[in-house]
């Protein structure tokens, strides 16, 4: 067991680091390629005819073709090759786990184990276009139809853009005060700095035909029944609004926070020095959110940050690259352990308590590969415990106000290959659908697929 705390309460404070140090910590973690670097990297591509990297891209970007155009100096053509299949190619170039998608499939891995830097080249081309504020797409003649989209994240925005291109009017309803979804609120600030998420939203909206309605929560301000009456079709890109519970004694005490909510506050903070951070931080979880909150806590000034995950490194949702990134940023990862109990300090002499220590149990797999506890325990001191153990879909708004609830599968919206749900004219995509993956690029593909299916539905 770890030693007991020696202070009289939790050590949580603001301004742990100087403003200049914070600015450096949250600057772009992957500096862009300059023109010469991009040409050198593009020259490494073999321009495979049956390129496996294309198959590995969920949106089907013709990767060899856009790289060939960079090599020939045609950056406009390169950007179009990216954005036509993936309108959020700029964000995906920054946040996609390319190391397990296109770059993992690169044939250079066979001989050099050093793939072409596809993500960096994709960013080089799309940044060139965004910096010049060029809108290369145009709308088709108006169809007279109007589609409601619920959720202003990657799935909703991709669907909205493609529908607008096809000539339909689009209303995007978003519960928060900005569009962008996880790209704006849920991804580490050092991955998408300099207000890039909003610049990408502005680029999408500049096409025309898309009307945003922010601060409109599904189930509170709008209902599925109402939208079906006022629009010709509906697309649901709701994401995952709920958070899994730790199922550990004492998890309701102060200092136990939802990682996604804290990341959202961090992303919107005008002054990161104003954010309170504990000196000792424990993160429960093994996905990208766990990595993001752990590294950002460290970069805010936390001295000791530990991720606790119930299984091994190979089972973590975060890629090996992300795990290594966390460790090189001073984050410790404790595998094969799960939280059991949280102990706390009394707050202001009352009944409420603030976490000071988390007790964990070592885990293992039994002879049927089921996770079990060993009974052996250890404790970690903690001023803050972040829950990053996955989000869940909240279906209640789909059942409120309507006599025809949508069919669900495994707790999420059931859809077919066209992303059509069980009610006529209702489609869905992104994390909220059965089988949805926590990937921006997959959400974009869902939105695009649904848009074409909606177009066929409206024209039939």
Is 64:42 a contact under the CB 8 Å cutoff? no
Q: With 80 as the cut, is the pLDDT of residue 377 above it?
A: yes
Q: How far is CA 129 from the centre of its chain?
A: 24
**Tokens 């106000």 correspond to what residue?**
401
3-state SS assignment for residue 337: strand
* Phi, psi at 129, each rounded to 5°: -70, -45
Look at 40 and 1; give whichever has higher pLDDT.
40
Q: With 50 as the cut, is the pLDDT of residue 2 above it?
A: no
Is 385:285 a contact under the CB 8 Å cutoff? no
- Give the pLDDT score at 17: 93
What share of the chain in percent tops pLDDT 70? 97
Token readout for 401 is: 């106000």
- Could you read off the pLDDT of 16-33 as tens digits, one per residue? 999 999 999 999 999 999
- Could you read off the pLDDT of 272-304 as tens digits, one per residue? 999 999 999 999 999 999 999 999 999 999 999
How large is the average pLDDT for residues 347-362?
Answer: 87
Look at 1 and 298; give whichever has higher pLDDT.
298
- Give the pLDDT score at 437: 78
Best CA proximity match to 358, nearest among 443, 454, 249: 249
- Give the pLDDT score at 395: 80
- Could you read off the pLDDT of 175-203 as tens digits, one per residue? 999 999 999 999 999 999 999 999 999 99
CB-based burial label for 149 (10 Å; 0-12, 13-18, 19+): buried
The confidence band for 150, taking pLDDT boundaries of 50, 70 and 90, is very high
DSSP β-ladder status, 408-409 and 233-236: unpaired
- Ramachandran region, residue 393 (left: φ > 0; alpha: ψ -120 to 50; beta: rest): beta
Domains of the chain: 12-27+243-390 (3.50.50.60), 35-131 (1.10.1060.10), 146-241+393-459 (3.50.50.60)
- Ramachandran region, residue 167 (left: φ > 0; alpha: ψ -120 to 50; beta: rest): left
- Could you read off the pLDDT of 35-85 as tens digits, one per residue? 999 999 999 999 998 999 999 999 999 999 999 999 999 999 999 999 999
Euclidean distance between CA atoms 333 and 327, whole angstroms: 7
Give the single-character DSSP code of 433.
B
- Give the pLDDT score at 393: 82
Euclidean distance between CA atoms 284 and 248, whole angstroms: 11
- Could you read off the pLDDT of 393-416 as tens digits, one per residue? 878 777 655 556 899 998 899 999
- Give the pLDDT score at 4: 43
Whole-Å CA distances, 457 to 85, 104, 120, 150, 453: 21, 37, 38, 18, 6
Task: Give the DSSP letter string of 68-87.
Answer: HHHHTT-HHHHHHHHHTT-T
Longest distance between any two alpha carbons in the chain, whole Å: 71
Please, what is the average pLDDT of the chain?
93
- Give the pLDDT score at 392: 82
Euclidean distance between CA atoms 147 and 172, whole angstroms: 9
Look at 231 and 350; give whichever has higher pLDDT.
231
Q: With 70 as the cut, is the pLDDT of residue 3 above it?
A: no
- Could you read off the pLDDT of 96-134 as tens digits, one per residue? 999 999 999 999 999 888 999 999 999 999 999 999 999
Euclidean distance between CA atoms 447 and 87, whole angstroms: 10
Is 233:427 a contact under the CB 8 Å cutoff? yes
| Residues in a beta bridge with 158 | none
**Tokens 């074409």 correspond to what residue?**
452
How large is the average pLDDT for residues 362-370?
Answer: 93
The confidence band for 435, taking pLDDT boundaries of 50, 70 and 90, is confident
How large is the average pLDDT for residues 426-442?
Answer: 91
CB atoms within 10 A of CB 115: 21
Best CA proximity match to 171, nearest among 142, 211, 206: 211
- Give the pLDDT score at 332: 98
DSSP β-ladder status, 280-284 and 304-308: parallel
What contacts 380, CB < 8 A, 6 or more positions away? 2, 280, 282, 306, 308, 334, 357, 358, 360
What share of the chain in percent tops pLDDT 90? 84
**Tokens 């177009």 correspond to what residue?**
455
How large is the average pLDDT for residues 339-343?
Answer: 96
Angle at 414 between CA 413 and CA 420, to 5 degrees: 100
What contacts 290, CB < 8 A, 6 or more positions away? 259, 283, 284, 307, 309, 318, 386, 388
């Amino acid at each position: 067991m770890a030693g007991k705390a020696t202070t009289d309460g939790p050590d949580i404070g603001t301004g742990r680091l100087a403003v200049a140090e914070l600015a450096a910590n949250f600057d772009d973690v992957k500096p862009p390629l300059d023109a010469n670097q991009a040409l050198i990297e593009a020259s490494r591509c073999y321009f495979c005819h049956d390129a496996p990297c294309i198959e590995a891209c969920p949106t089907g970007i013709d990767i060899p073709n856009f790289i060939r155009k960079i090599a020939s100096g045609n950056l406009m053509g390169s950007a179009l090759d990216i954005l036509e299949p993936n309108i959020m190619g700029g964000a995906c170039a920054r946040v996609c786990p390319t190391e397990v998608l296109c770059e993992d499939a690169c044939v250079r891995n066979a001989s050099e184990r050093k793939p072409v830097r596809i993500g960096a080249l994709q960013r080089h081309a799309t940044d060139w276009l965004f910096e010049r504020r060029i809108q290369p797409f145009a709308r088709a003649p108006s169809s007279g139809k109007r589609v409601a989209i619920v959720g202003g994240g990657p799935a909703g925005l991709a669907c909205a853009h493609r529908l607008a291109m096809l000539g339909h009017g689009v209303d995007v309803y978003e519960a928060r005060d900005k569009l962008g979804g996880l790209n704006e609120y849920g991804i580490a600030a050092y991955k998408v700095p300099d207000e890039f998420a909003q610049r990408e939203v502005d680029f999408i909206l500049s096409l025309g035909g898309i009307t945003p309605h922010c601060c409109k929560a599904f189930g509170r301000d709008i209902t599925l029944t109402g939208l079906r009456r006022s629009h010709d079709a509906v697309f649901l890109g709701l994401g995952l609004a709920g958070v899994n519970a730790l199922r550990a004694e004492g998890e309701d005490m102060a200092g136990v926070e939802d990682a996604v909510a804290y990341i959202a506050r961090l992303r919107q903070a005008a002054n990161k020095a104003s954010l309170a951070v504990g000196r000792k931080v424990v993160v429960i979880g093994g996905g990208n959110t766990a990595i993001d909150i752990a590294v950002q806590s460290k970069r805010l000034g936390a001295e000791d940050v530990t991720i606790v995950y119930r299984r091994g490194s190979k089972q973590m949702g975060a890629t090996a690259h992300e795990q290594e990134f966390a460790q090189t940023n001073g984050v410790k990862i404790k595998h094969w352990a799960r939280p059991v109990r949280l102990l706390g300090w009394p707050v202001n002499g009352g009944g409420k308590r603030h976490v000071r220590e988390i007790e964990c149990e070592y885990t293992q797999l039994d002879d049927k590969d089921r996770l079990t506890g060993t009974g052996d325990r250890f404790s970690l001191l903690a001023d803050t415990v972040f829950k990053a153990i996955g989000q869940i879909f909240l279906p209640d708004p789909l059942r409120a106000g309507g006599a025809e609830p949508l069919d669900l599968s495994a707790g999420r919206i059931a859809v077919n290959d066209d992303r059509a749900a069980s009610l006529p004219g209702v489609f869905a995509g992104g994390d909220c659908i059965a089988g949805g993956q926590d990937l921006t690029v997959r959400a974009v593909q869902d939105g695009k697929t649904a848009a074409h299916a909606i177009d066929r539905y409206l024209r039939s």
